[in-house]
């Protein structure tokens, strides 16, 4: 078997990987390459500290394979440069002292560049399930009161820190390649941003990895919170991040790449998603909250749910599922590939279901719309705010 041919920048990237492995500053390397259709193949190597020795865990999303390897530099480099990994179009090496990126644009032109370390001081023990990439010394975390002046997570805010860290892991997985390869300023909007925990974290993540200064906006109706967020943003030098006191204006779209809408109450979630669709969002992260619209209608709905409707608590839970599945089907009908995931632990909040997705021309829009109409008939509800907001596009 012949070895895969590397371009000049890939060779530079692997030489940097070798150096990090040899000087034991290596933390993680993630390779992303083309797959079938629009599905991307991701292969990652994570340093794990065992009880008596260091290991590297190799994992891939192709078949959910995961295996532990001895820390052998030559063996690891051979696996990294195998035809299971090459050709790759994007890669990120995380070390103790810096991150190193490889990225190709749409024309196939490659470049490598350094960024600030995202995993400085992070240790992944063998019995740990997650390796949080969020650095607790980031200045905005101090401004928000999550960490002390010394960059130590305050005990009562550890749940919030974990939530932020989990969110960063999600966006790192879902938009990491887009962020590192885009040749223009990336735009982001957080609707119903509250105190801006995730707005700051997402902006900081993009700012550290993108080629250009991102432009981000957080919007919320609480004036005092907005004033605080703008003060923190100015204090830490986030010149591309601003916060606005106002409501979601779903019919006044502004072009945006990434939409965040976490815990917008009831139909405000639909207003946020409608705003994003009309703004031609490329990626979205949405955590619905307090779904009430469908719950009321199920009391008069199809007989198949009558036994459930007799129990108010279970009716509400059933309505939550129906509401969010409808959102997923409607977004698919509008050209987005959608998935559900849990973005934080249940002990932190019971509202831990997230809808995430990206614009994908290959989705079956017609089938998704047909499935939505069938679900609507079978469940017996008459209206759904997202459908109403975007009826002219469906």
- What is the rounded average pLDDT for all residues in the chain? 85
Which H/E stretch holds residue 132? none
Q: In this structure, what token pair is assigned to residue 220?
A: 């919320």
What per-residue confidence (pLDDT) applies to 369?
96
Determine if the peptide bond prior to 123 is cis (ω within 30°): no
> What domains can you pick out in the chain, each with its CATH number?
8-115 (no CATH), 139-389 (3.40.50.150)
Instruction: Return d(Cα 56, Cα 30) in angstroms, integer.
Output: 12
Instruction: Please report the DSSP string for 247-312 in residue order.
Output: ---TTS----SEEEEEEEETTHHHHHHHHHHHTT-SEEEEEEE---HHHHHHTTS-GGGHHHHTSH
Helix (H, G, I), strand (E, B) or coil at 47: strand
What per-residue confidence (pLDDT) applies to 89?
86
Helix (H, G, I), strand (E, B) or coil at 375: helix
What per-residue confidence (pLDDT) applies to 226?
96
pLDDT in tens, 311-367: 878 877 888 888 899 999 999 999 999 999 877 644 444 567 899 999 998 899 999
Instruction: Return d(Cα 376, Cα 325) in angstroms, integer.
Output: 11
For the chain, residues with pLDDT lower than 70 are 1-4, 35-39, 50-53, 62-65, 122-133, 250-251, 266, 299-305, 344-351
What per-residue confidence (pLDDT) applies to 124?
64
What per-residue confidence (pLDDT) applies to 100?
94
Instruction: Return d(Cα 36, Cα 301) in angstroms, integer.
Output: 41
Q: Which residues contact 246 (CB under 8 A, 6 or more apart)?
A: 219, 220, 221
What per-residue confidence (pLDDT) applies to 346?
41
Return the beta strands (E) in the chain as ranges: 26-33, 41-49, 54-60, 66-70, 90-95, 99-104, 110-115, 187-191, 215-220, 241-245, 258-265, 283-289, 336-342, 353-359
pLDDT in tens, 91-132: 999 999 999 999 988 788 899 999 888 887 766 654 444 444
């Amino acid at each position: 078997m012949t070895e895969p041919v590397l371009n000049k920048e890939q060779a530079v990237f692997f030489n940097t990987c070798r150096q990090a492995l040899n000087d034991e500053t290596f933390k993680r390397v993630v390779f992303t390459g083309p797959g079938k259709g629009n599905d991307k193949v991701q292969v990652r190597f994570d340093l794990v500290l065992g009880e008596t020795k260091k290991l590297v865990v190799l994992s891939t999303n192709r078949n959910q394979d995961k295996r532990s390897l001895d820390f052998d530099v030559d063996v690891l480099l051979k696996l990294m440069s195998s035809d299971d990994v090459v050709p790759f179009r994007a890669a990120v090496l995380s070390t103790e002292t810096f991150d190193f990126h490889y990225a190709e644009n749409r024309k196939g032109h490659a470049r490598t560049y350094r960024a600030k370390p995202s995993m400085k001081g992070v240790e992944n023990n063998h019995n740990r399930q997650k390796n949080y990439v969020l650095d607790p010394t980031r200045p905005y975390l101090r401004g928000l009161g999550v960490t002390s002046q010394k960059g130590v997570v305050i005990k009562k805010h550890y749940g919030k820190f974990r939530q932020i860290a989990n969110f960063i892991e999600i966006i790192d997985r879902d938009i990491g390649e887009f962020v590192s390869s885009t040749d223009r300023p990336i735009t982001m909007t957080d609707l119903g941003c509250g105190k801006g925990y995730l707005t700051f974290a997402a902006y900081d993540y993009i700012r550290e990895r993108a080629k250009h200064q991102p432009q981000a906006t957080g919007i919320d109706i609480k004036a005092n919170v907005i004033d605080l967020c703008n003060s923190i943003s100015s204090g830490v030098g986030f010149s591309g991040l601003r916060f606005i006191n106002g409501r979601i204006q779903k019919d006044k779209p502004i072009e945006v790449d990434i939409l965040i809408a976490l815990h917008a109450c009831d139909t405000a979630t639909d207003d946020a998603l409608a705003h994003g669709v009309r703004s031609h969002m490329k990626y979205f992260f949405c955590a619905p909250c307090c779904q009430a619209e469908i719950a009321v209608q199920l009391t008069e709905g199809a007989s198949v749910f009558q036994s459930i409707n007799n129990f108010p608590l279970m009716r509400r839970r059933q309505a939550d599922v129906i509401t969010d599945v409808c959102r997923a089907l409607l977004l698919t009908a509008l050209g987005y590939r959608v998935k559900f995931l849990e973005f934080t632990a249940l002990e932190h909040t019971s509202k831990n279901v997230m809808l995430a997705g990206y614009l994908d021309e290959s989705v079956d829009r017609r089938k998704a719309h047909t499935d939505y109409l069938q679900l609507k008939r079978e469940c017996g509800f008459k209206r759904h705010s997202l459908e109403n907001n975007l009826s002219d596009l469906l």
